[in-house]
Amino acid sequence: MTAMTSMTESRATELLNRIPTGVLINGEFQDGSIGERLDVLDPATGRVLTTVSCAGPRDAARAMDSAAAAQERWGATAPRERSMILHRAFELMTTDYSEDLALLMTLEMGKPLAQSRAEVAYGAEFLRWFAEEAVRVRGDVFRVPEGHLQAMVLRRAVGPCLLITPWNFPLAMATRKLGPAFAAGSIAILKPSRETPLTALLAARILIEAGLPPGVLSVLPTRDSEAVTGPLLADPRLRKVSFTGSTAVGKELLRRSADNVLRTSMELGGHAAFIVFDDADLDAAIGAAVTTKMRNMGQACNAANHFLVQEGVYEDFTRGLAAAMSAQRVGSGLEEGVQVGPLISARHRDALAEMVERALDSGARALCGGAIPRGAGCFYPPTVLVDMPAGSEIMRREIFGPVAPVLPFSTEEEALALANDDEVGLSGYLHTRDMARVMRMAERLEVGMLGVNSATISNVGAPFGGLKHSGLGREGGKEGIEDYLETVYVGMPAPQLG
C-alpha cells in the first residue's frame, strides 16, 4: 500500500484549499455558533485532511428560520424554473466538478477513484431525473359518485425537510433526497455524516452556482448530531424527515418524529441474501458475487451480505469466489488499479475483525483473508468464510465490509426460509436459469428489491427501498417525489349540466 503520488498529493491539497468548510445557512458559508471544528480524516492514512466548522443548536434554529422564510417563495417558484436549476446542477457536476467530487470522495471516504467517478455519475443523475419530474407533478379533477360535488386534488410541497445522510455514498445519498425535495418545491436542511461532510459542502456550492436561491438549502456538519437534529425535530415548522442509515437510529427518529406527526422516509439496514441455484451460470454468478459484495468495500446497504449456495455447486462456487476475492487489489483508493480501499474508520474495521474472529473461534474457516493487515490505514482484506455453525452471528448481522460468509442449502424452500428469517428486507440477489423459479421467489422473498442474474440493482429510474425493518417509503423512480408532496382535496358544487 503505497502513498499517493506527488501529483495526486498536489491536486488533493489544491482541492482541499478550495472546498467550503463552514456551515451553510441562508446562502452563506460561515462559522458555526459553537466555535468548534471537526477533523475530516483520510481513512487510508489516518491523517487529517482538513477541518470543518461544527453546527450547534443555534445554527439549527437559524437554518429553520431561514427555511421557514424561504418556503412559500420557493414553493411558488415555477416548476420549470426549479427544473432548470436542477438541470444546471447536473451539468456542473458531470463536467466542471466531476473530478473534484470524485477525488474528494476518495480522500474522505476511501473508495477507489473509479468507484468515486461512478458515484458522481450516479449521484448527478438524481438531479437530472428529478429535474424532469418537477414539471410532471399533477393533480386530478373528477365528479364525486353522488354527483353533487366536483373534486379537485392538488399536489403541493410538503414544506421544510430535514435530510440526514450517511458516509458510504456521500454524494448520491444527498442528491437522492435533495433532488425530489427541490423538484417538489420543498426546503432542505441537510445534515451530512461527520465522516464525510466535504462532499456535501461542495455539492451545496454547486447547487448555489446553478441558481438555487438563498435559504432553500442549509448544510449543517456537526460532531454532535443530537445538538442539531434535536431542535429541528422538535420545531413545529419542520414537516418531513428523511434518513438513510442504521435501523436502530431510524427507529429512534421515527419515535421522535411522532410528536410532531412528521412525514418520514426511512432507508435503513439491509442483510441481502445472494442465492445461487444448481442451474445458475456459475462464472456469471461468481463475477456478480464479487461485484455486489465488494462495491464500496462492502459498505453498502444493498450489498450481498451472506451467500446461500445450492449443494450441487457449493464447492465450485466457494472455490471460485475465494480465488476471485483473493485477486482483488487492496490499497489507497488513489492508487491506479486498486479495487478495495480502506474501510471508513479504525473503529468500524476493528468491529468487523472482531466479528470474523468470533466466527473463526466458533468453527468457521477462512478460505482467504480473515485478519487485519499490517501497516497504516483502515484496511481489511477480502474474506470468504465457510463452515459457519447454524445460527452463526455473522450469518445474521449486517456485515458492512468485504467479508462473504457462504452457506449451503438443499431445496428452494430451505433457501426461502434462510433468506426470510430476518427482521430486515431491503434487497436480495438470485441466480438461476429457471424463470418459473424466479417468479416464485419474487413473490415470496421478503425484500423490496430483487436482482436476478445480475450484480447491480440501483437505478435512478427505479424505486429504492425495503420491507419490514428496512424502512418506509421509496427513493428514486416516479415514486421518489411522492413523499415530498402533500395531497389536498378541494370540493366545490358540481356544475349542473343539461
pTM: 0.96
Residues 242 and 285 in one domain: no
Distances (CA, A) of 383 to 241, 313, 357, 359: 37, 20, 12, 12
Beta carbons of 347 and 324 less than 8 angstroms apart: no
Q: Count structural domains, the chain.
A: 2
Please indicate, yes or no, if residue 302 is contained in any of the structural domains: yes
Residue 498 has a pLDDT of 66
Q: Verify that 263 and 279 share a domain, yes or no.
A: no
464 occurs within a structural domain = no
User: Per the structure block, which three cell numbers stand in for 310?
Assistant: 445450492
Q: What local confidence, expressed as pLDDT, does residue 4 receive?
A: 53
Domain that holds residue 315: 272-459
Which sequence positions are flagged as catalytic?
267, 301
Q: Is residue 467 part of a domain?
A: no
Q: Where are the beta strands (DSSP E) in 280-354?
A: 304-310
344 and 205 in one domain? no
29 plus 144 within the same structural domain? yes
Instruction: Note whether 416 and 403 are same-domain residues.
Output: yes
How far apart are the two ends of the chain, measured CA to CA in Å?
83
The phi, psi pair for 326, rounded to 5°, reads -65, -30
- Give the tens place of pLDDT for each residue, 270-288: 999 999 999 999 999 999 9
- Tell me, yes or no, whether 492 lies in a domain: no
Q: Do 181 and 212 fall within a single domain?
A: yes
One domain, residues 353 and 327: yes
Q: Which residue has the cell 431525473?
A: 129
- Do residues 455 and 476 share a domain? no
238/290 same-domain check: no
Q: Domain holding 309: CATH number? A: 3.40.309.10
Alpha carbons 63 and 215: distance in angstroms, whole number: 8
Residue ranges of the chain with pLDDT lower than 70? 1-7, 498
Predicted pLDDT of residue 1? 40
pLDDT, residue 5, reads 60
Residue 312, C-alpha cell as written in the block: 450441487
Outline where 38-112 has alpha helix (H): 57-76, 79-94, 98-109
Look at residue 495 and tell me if it is in a domain: no
The answer to whether residues 299 and 212 belong to one domain is no
Residues 76 and 179 in one domain: yes
Burial 391-425 (b: 16+ CB within 10 A, else e): ebebbeebbbbbbbbbbbbeebeebbebbeebebb
Kindly report the CATH number assigned to the domain that includes residue 34: 3.40.605.10
Do 359 and 404 reside in the same domain of the chain? yes
**Model confidence pLDDT, tens digit, residues 462-487:** 999 999 999 999 999 999 999 999 99
Position 2 scores a pLDDT of: 44
